[in-house]
């Protein structure tokens, strides 16, 4: 059993100093690829790939649902193409307005 001091509702152990900054932490995210795959990140614990892009001054992120690098590159290019095809001016339209445009 260790002896401790109670200081402002926190139990502080006397036998170990509290050095929060000295611990080395493992990187969870790693940037993958070169200039063609910019925006492609890998989450190390699961190995899943994610897209992280800035589009029209907005940061857009999406899980690519794969652990394979080649598939992740293809899904990243598809995601970029889909973003470029979207029209931001039509984003706040109601369903009735969309039906009016379709007729």
Write the pLDDT tens digit of every residue in 7-27: 445 554 555 555 555 566 778
pLDDT value of residue 67: 92
Residue ranges, the chain, pLDDT below 50: 5, 7-8, 12
Q: What is the reported pTM?
A: 0.60
C-alpha 50/C-alpha 35 separation (Å) is 16
CA of 68: how far to CAs of 54, 72, 73, in Å? Answer: 23, 6, 9
Burial class (CB in 10 A: 0-12, 13-18, 19+), 51: buried
H or E element, residue 93: none
Cβ atoms of 29 and 42 closer than 8 Å: yes
């Amino acid at each position: 059993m260790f002896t401790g001091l109670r200081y402002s509702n926190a139990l502080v152990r006397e036998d170990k100093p509290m050095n929060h900054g000295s611990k080395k932490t493992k990187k969870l995210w790693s940037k993958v690829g070169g200039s063609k795959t910019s925006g492609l990140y890998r989450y190390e614990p699961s190995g899943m790939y994610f897209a992280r892009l800035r589009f029209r001054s907005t940061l857009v992120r999406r899980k690519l649902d794969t652990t394979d690098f080649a598939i992740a590159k293809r899904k990243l290019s598809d995601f970029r193409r889909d973003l470029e095809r979207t029209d931001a001016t039509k984003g706040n339209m109601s369903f009735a307005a969309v039906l009016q445009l379709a007729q």
